[in-house]
Amino acid sequence: MNFHVLTLFPEMILNGMNTSITGRAIAAGRLSLEAVNIRDFAFNKHQKVDDYPYGGGAGMLMQAEPVYLAWQSVAEKLERKPRVVYLTPQGQVFRQSMAAELAGEEDLIFLCGHYEGIDERVLEEIVTDYVSIGDYVLTGGELPAMVLMDCISRMVPGVLSNQESGETESFAGNLLEYPQYSRPEEWHGRRVPDILLSGHHANIDKWRREQSILRTAQRRPDLLKKADLTNKEWAWLKAERKQEEL
């Protein structure tokens, strides 16, 4: 997977991504990352990349030409036109299924906006995907781009050391993860559930599945509707909830 980020703040992208698991994957060559500074493509005296919006209004806009030239430098080097993801609160809200789909691409270009946005005309020419990370407003697209790259990276084979950890985690099958415990067996008077110390793996798997279902029902009832529970599990949950009411 090769990430290409068009940004006014390349050091923010490089500092963030070269840390922790993504940093290790980049060092190992399982991922590559380039941050292209849009300002390097502003061919005017003061390397200006923004201007006032036609029709008036608050703030400044990023101009079309430097963004276009930055994109073109990547497309020409690759001799193809990878998908271009523009990070914007006006986009589709990012979810795990989008990460899985994007992880199948060889190259991805992320376009990070600043100020009040980018001249619409260059977006029409180069952007293939408009993506938001939620219903709140940020100062720029860099953090959202890093959120997407982090999430996509961990679906790229070899990025996580323990490949199975991707399977059982939160959102696999639209269920949240079960609670986990490590040493000591008792901490602040709280004991690790006996079943986890029993060594009975079938019972442990069953308990964990039940905990996932309960936790999802309590914390994310919206997800539970999409979870693939068996009829037996739905019945079990209903009985469990009835007991809680008593």
Helix (H/G/I), strand (E/B), else coil: 34: strand
To the nearest whole angstrom, how small is the minimum distance from the Cβ of residue 118 to ligand 6GU?
11
Q: Is 212 in the site for ligand 6GU (CB under 6 A)?
A: no
DSSP 64-129: HHHHHHHHHHHHHHHTS--EEEEEEEEEEEP-HHHHHHHTT-SEEEEEE--TT-B-HHHHHHH--E
Q: How far apart are the first and last CA of the chain?
A: 53
| Total residues at interface with ligand 6GU (CB under 6 A) | 12
To the nearest whole angstrom, how small is the minimum distance from the Cβ of residue 98 to ligand 6GU?
12
Residues 76-105 that bind ligand 6GU (CB under 6 A): 87-89
Do 211 and 177 form a contact (C-beta atoms < 8 A)?
A: no
In the chain, % helix, strand, coil (3-state, to 5) comes to: 45, 15, 40
Q: Is 59 in the site for ligand 6GU (CB under 6 A)?
A: no
Give the one residue of 137, 202, 239, 246 binding ligand 6GU; rule: CB under 6 A.
Answer: 137
d(CA 93, CA 232): 33
Q: Is 134 in the site for ligand 6GU (CB under 6 A)?
A: yes
- Type of residue numbered 243: Q
To the nearest whole angstrom, how small is the minimum distance from the Cβ of residue 15 to ligand 6GU?
19
Nearest to ligand 6GU of 71, 178 (CB atom): 71
Nearest to ligand 6GU of 35, 175 (CB atom): 35
State the angle between helix axes of 142-153 and 10-17 in degrees (0 to 180), rounded to the nearest 10: 30
Q: Is 118 in the site for ligand 6GU (CB under 6 A)?
A: no
Span of 74-82, 118-126, 140-148, 187-195 interacting with ligand 6GU by CB under 6 A: 140-148
Span of 14-22, 133-141, 150-158, 204-212 interacting with ligand 6GU by CB under 6 A: 133-141
- Give the total residue count for the chain: 246
Q: Is 116 in the site for ligand 6GU (CB under 6 A)?
A: no
Nearest to ligand 6GU of 82, 140 (CB atom): 140
Span of 22-30, 42-50, 137-145, 168-176 interacting with ligand 6GU by CB under 6 A: 137-145
Evaluate the CA torsion angle 14, 16, 17, 22 in order and state its sign.
positive
Do 239 and 202 form a contact (C-beta atoms < 8 A)?
A: no
Contact set with ligand 6GU (CB under 6 A): 87-89, 132-134, 136-138, 140-141, 144
